[in-house]
Amino acid sequence: MGIFKCLKGDHSTAHDEAHTSPSGPPPVREPTYEAPPGPPPPPHYSSSAHGPLHVVNEYAPPPGPPPGWRKTPSESLPIRPDPDEEPPPYHDWTIIPDNSLLPPPPALGHRKSPSTNAKLSDADRAHEWCKINPMIRPHQPTHPQHAAVLNGDVRLLKSPEYTGDLLMPNTGVWKGSTRAGSKDSCLLTSSPIYFAYADSPLRTGNTKTIYFEVRVRSLGRGRGVDESSIALGYCAMPYPTWRLPGWERGSLAVHGDDGRRYVNNTFGGKDFTSPIKAGDTVGLGMTFAVADGLPDYEAQPRSETMTKVEVFFTRNGRRGASWDLHEELDKDQDLGIDGLDGQFDIYCAIGTFGGIDFDVCFSNRDWSWQPR
């Protein structure tokens, strides 16, 4: 009895200690998951009687965006909910930008004139001539020289290509007459009509306008068709006199045969006005003023000056169209405005070809158009 009790007593004591131990039950080990050995099972295909086999991907991601993403109510675009990330700057596309400081849009140019065009050999010769003869820097005029120009006492010089008569019946008034079939020629004044040192608004602070008129008495002469016309322009010196003004560097003009304007343009010019006819009195002027500020233009080099230049045209005493010399230029056709923006002395230029009769007036007393 004693032995049995002792054994029984020992067994009970060990069992009680196991359940009443302060350390508690033994820890439970977390289960581990390992990929089954071997390659993944082949994809499962489903088929139907009306289509090809389709692969059923049992491991495709669940539909919808990944966790942590949400959509904005207004734009319905996924964004990351990052409170520290700054939102992109907001741009209101309904606001119309201020384009008052932008340059005027470029006018459409033409590859050639619809009426008459010069020979390519004459153009090539003029280009080479301009490379050899750079533009002359301005000079300070004497007081008598400047006063004579202000009074309209301006003289025209015959060019070697000019075939005809050229007379001065009165001070500041010239009469010209060319023969039928005359080639292109350019008459130039003997002195500048604009002196950069004396007339520039950057030096004087005042607006300066230069202007002259031409009266076309007749166009065409002789039997058959005589292609003839006249061009009014300005240029910096020197200039190839076998080329009409506006075709080469440092020059601008309005041509009477097509009514187009040319600014250092050897192509077909830009639409401007109607052709000049016999009996018309036409004028060309340039107004130089101090500009408040000119924006940087990508199509032409930045000028060192801040001069605003407007070129205007008159017909029979009425002012017509005009253009801003600093307009945006066509980089493929226009050669810039060098020599015309007030930094150089500027001369009057009159181009002729064919048989014409014309009068040139530099004196404001005899102009059909009178400035206000």
What is the per-residue pLDDT for 1? 44
Bin 316: left if φ > 0, else alpha if -120 < ψ < 50, else beta: left
Q: How far apart are CA 132 and CA 2, in angstroms?
A: 140
Specify the DSSP class assigned to residue 76: -
Which pLDDT score is estimated for 14?
43
pLDDT > 80? residue 360: yes
Q: Residues near 313 by Cβ (< 8 Å), separated by ≥ 6?
A: 254, 272, 273, 282, 283, 284, 285, 319, 320, 321, 322
Q: Is the pLDDT of residue 7 over 70?
A: no
The number of beta carbons lying within 10 Å of the beta carbon of residue 234 is: 26
Residue 125, phi then psi, degrees to nearest 5 = -65, -35
* Percentage of the chain modeled with pLDDT above 90: 53
pTM over 0.75: no
Q: Given this model, what pLDDT does residue 227 score?
A: 85
C-alpha angle 109/111/113, rounded to 5°? Answer: 95
Q: What are phi and psi of 352, to 5 degrees?
A: -135, 150
- Categorize the per-residue pLDDT at 23 as very low, low, confident or very high, splitting at 50, 70 and 90: low
What's the CA gap between 61 and 41, in Å, rounded?
A: 18
Q: In what order do the strands lie in the sheet with 347-353?
A: 156-157, 185-189, 347-353, 229-235, 251-255, 260-263, 270-271
The DSSP result for 124-168, as a single string, is: HHHHHHHHHSPPPPP-PPPHHHHHHHHTT---EE--TT--EEEEE
Q: Which of 361, 284, 363, 362 is nearest to 322 (CA)?
A: 284
pLDDT tens for 78-134 read 555 565 666 666 666 666 666 655 555 555 554 555 566 668 889 999 999 999 999
For 51, the token pair is 């289509």
Answer with the residue of higher pLDDT: 300 or 332.
Answer: 332
Does residue 13 surpass a pLDDT of 70?
A: no
Going along the chain from its start, the domains and CATH numbers come out as 120-366 (2.60.120.920)
Residue where the block lists tokens 């015309």: 340
Average per-residue pLDDT in the chain?
79
User: Which residues on adjacent β-strands are paired with residue 235?
Assistant: 251, 347
pLDDT attached to residue 298: 45
pLDDT at 202 over 50: yes
Is there a cis peptide before residue 141, judged by omega within 30 degrees of 0? Answer: no
